[in-house]
Amino acid sequence: MSLQRENSKMVGKLAVVTLGMFAFGYALVPLYKTICEMTGINILALGERNLPGVSNATPANTQVDFKRTITVEFDANARGPWSFKPAQSSVQVHPGELTTVMYEFQNVQDHRMSAQAIPSYAPRQASAHFNKLECFCFNQYTLEPGEKKSWPVAFVIDPKLSKDVTTITLSYTFFEVGSKTPPAPLTTVRADKSATGVGV
C-alpha cells in the first residue's frame, strides 16, 4: 500500500515539474524582451521600437546595379486550343533586382487538360544569367474545362550579364502533356486566311 502511495507522490511531483516547465517556456519570450529593454544588451530588440529620428527601413539590396536598365519582353506560344498570355508585354529591371510578373492561362476546351511550359531566351547568352526563383514551368498543371489560372514568374538577372545585352525576350511554349505536340508555328505570315494556324 505504501508503494502505491509513493508512486502517487512521484506522479504528482512530475506533474508539478511539467507544469512549471510549460509556464516557464510560455513566459520566457516576454521576460526576455523586458530584460533586454531594461539592460539595452539586445540591439535588435531596441531596433524594433519606433524611436524618434530613427528609421526602421530595410537596408537596400547592394547587389542591384542601378546604373543599368534591361528591358525584359514576354512572349507566349500556345500549342493547342487554349488561352495563354503574359499579363504585361514587358518590364524594365535593374540587374540584381527581384522582379515578379504574371502569366494568365485558361482551358477553353471541353475536357480536363494537363499541360506544361518550356522557357526559351533571346539572346541565347542571356539564359545563363536569367535566374528564375519561382516559375510555373517547373511543374505540370491540370485544369478543368473553362478553368482560369494566373501563375507568377519571379526572376533576377545576374549583374554579370554582358553590358552589350539591353533587351531579353523570355518566351514560353505551353503544350498539352500526353498528347501529340503540334509543329512549331510558322514564322512567316500566310496569305491564305482560311488556313488554321496557331497564334504566336
The Cβ-side half-sphere exposure at 120, using a 13 Å CA radius, reads 8
Alpha carbon of 128 to those of 65, 68, 112, 125, 178: distances in Å?
18, 18, 35, 6, 29
Print pLDDT tens along the chain (200 aa): 577 888 888 888 888 888 888 777 767 667 666 765 666 555 444 444 444 444 444 445 557 889 999 999 998 887 767 788 899 999 999 999 999 999 998 888 888 888 888 889 999 989 899 999 888 888 888 888 888 888 899 999 999 999 999 999 999 888 887 655 444 444 333 334 333 343 33
| Residue 47 pLDDT | 44
12-58 per-position pLDDT tens digit: 888 888 888 877 776 766 766 676 566 655 544 444 444 444 444 44
Residue 102: predicted pLDDT? 93
Write down the domain spans for the chain.
2-47, 70-176
Query: What is the pLDDT at residue 77?
Result: 82
Single pTM value for the model: 0.56
pLDDT score of 40: 55
Closest alpha carbon to 105 in 45, 175, 168: 175
What's the half-sphere exposure (Cβ side, CA atoms, 13 Å) at 77?
21
At 32 the pLDDT is: 64
Q: State the CATH architecture for 70-176.
A: Sandwich (2.60)
